[in-house]
A and B are shown apart, each in its own frame.
Chain A
Amino acid sequence: MEKNIINIKVTDREGSEQIIQAPTDMSFNLMEALKANELPVEGTCGGMALCASCHCYINSDHHLADASEDEEDMLDQAFFVEDNSRLSCQIKISDELEGLSITLAPVS
């Protein structure tokens, strides 16, 4: 693993997979990392857990901090919500997330 860089496997809405790199020392969140890699994530509210346009599914069994009440509230307004649904803006990029695998949720 390169210093301060982790690899994340992203499956887009068409089902194609790619590995993106994200820096762990720039206080990025996952939504920002996805956008920086030109993935089709809106992030309308800018990362405040106030829209649901960065909804994704976590495929790997990485240990993530639980979703806050705000995030759960916002997921109520999303569709196609599953048990592994998260708002990517609420996931901080850290070294522990090396090898994370996610799928972008459908646009709703």
Chain B
Amino acid sequence: MIQTDLLIIGAGPVGLFTVFEAGLLKLKCHLIDVLPQVGGQLSEIYPKKPIYDIPGYPSILAGDLIDNLMEQIKPFNPGFTLGEKAIKIEKIENGRFLLETSEGSIINAGAIAIAGGLGSFEPRKPPIEGLNKFEKTGVDYFVKDPEKYLNKNILIAGGGDSALDWTIELAEIAHEVTLIHRRTSFRGALDSVEKVMALAEAKKINLITEAQAIGVTGQNKLETVLIKQKELGEFSKEVDYFIPLFGLSPKLGPIANWDLAINKNAIEVNTFDYSTNEEGIYAVGDINTYPGKLKLILCGFHESTLMVQSVFKRIYPDQKLSFKYTTVTGIEGI
């Protein structure tokens, strides 16, 4: 079991910077994020976009800001649990918490900071009636183990890199791969697009463009997918697996079940210390709301800075906290 002072849910910019401010107070931090990499939206949605309102940086690419934050918090040696979703929080003795993740990891923490942005990133599921019925018996939103598809008939839907990459890879493994896409052009890397076109030309895969999956049928497992193509109309295709790859979108998820005061998908906090209605649980960054709230990274940084003062007093009520400037005291480890 992992033990920490402050458990931070969400390893986006605000979660990462919290480690720095907590570290100055000698609080040990552990971060958990549903994505396999740090950076949240900045890494997942817009790593190559410039940000212009980070103080001191006239312009910085989102991905570079995350790299810099990782370097800035390195001296404080935070722990990371990535690719796991925070599922359950339990209050235990001494006012501490036990948090359980989707993969069964347990983290014991003195306080919890939710820096969850817009929620946890989950696969976009096509709005096809009955699709959820087959989620364990033929419908996959991720490819975890390619060997699973050995000699099977696979239908992949989507037009981005993951749809293209898995079409190329599974073409070698599966009995038959069909890729369907809404348009005739693809948004993935040019090299992947060319490979897919070549595979289609050589009849190694079926490529159906200007088409969408609109229905699924099967008895105990997925058997057919109904496809609608612009010219051919509707037809059904027998498949063993249907893999819709439409990217990820953020959902509030389990946070909604933690008895926190929620207002329009955001957690209500007290701006004195960004505490929620549950003692010991705080919320900072895009996930919180209060009168005058602005969803800006720089505001999240400010919120974290004030929050850790309160976290310190909660975990070490008998210790005196004196405020120090980094210019005077420096940072341990540098």
**Contact residues in B for A75 (Cβ distance below 8 Å):** 182
Kindly identify which residue among A51, A73, A79 contacts B159, using a CB–CB cutoff of 8 Å. Answer: A73
Q: Which residue of B lies closest to A46 (CB)?
A: B295
Q: Which residue of A lies closest to B246 (CB)?
A: A77
The interface residues of chain A, by DSSP majority, are classed as loop
B118 within 8 A of A: yes
CB distance from B318 to the nearest CB of A (A): 44
**Contact residues in B for A53 (Cβ distance below 8 Å):** 249
Pairwise interchain contact A108-B124, C-beta atoms closer than 8 A? yes
Q: Which residue of A lies closest to B247 (CB)?
A: A77
**Contact residues in A for B49 (Cβ distance below 8 Å):** 48, 50
Complex Cα–Cα for A72 and B183 (A): 9
The interface residues of chain B, by DSSP majority, are classed as loop
* Interchain pairs with CB closer than 8 A, number: 46
Complex Cα–Cα for A75 and B212 (A): 13
**Contact residues in A for B28 (Cβ distance below 8 Å):** none
B250 within 8 A of A: yes
How many residues on B have C-beta within 8 angstroms of the other chain's C-beta atoms?
21
CB distance from B296 to the nearest CB of A (A): 10
A37 within 8 A of B: no
Kindly identify which residue among A51, A77, A80, A108 contacts B160, using a CB–CB cutoff of 8 Å. Answer: A77
B5-47 with Cβ < 8 A to chain A:
41, 45-46
A36 within 8 A of B: no
CB distance from B94 to the nearest CB of A (A): 39
CB distance from B44 to the nearest CB of A (A): 10
Pairwise interchain contact A45-B46, C-beta atoms closer than 8 A? yes
CB distance from A82 to the nearest CB of B (A): 11
Known: A106-B127, A108-B124. A73 touches B187 (CB 8 A): yes
- B residues with a Cβ closer than 8 A to A are 41, 45-46, 49, 118, 124, 126-127, 158-160, 181-183, 185, 187, 212, 246-247, 249-250
- A residues with a Cβ closer than 8 A to B are 44-45, 48, 50-51, 53, 69, 72-73, 75-77, 79-81, 106, 108
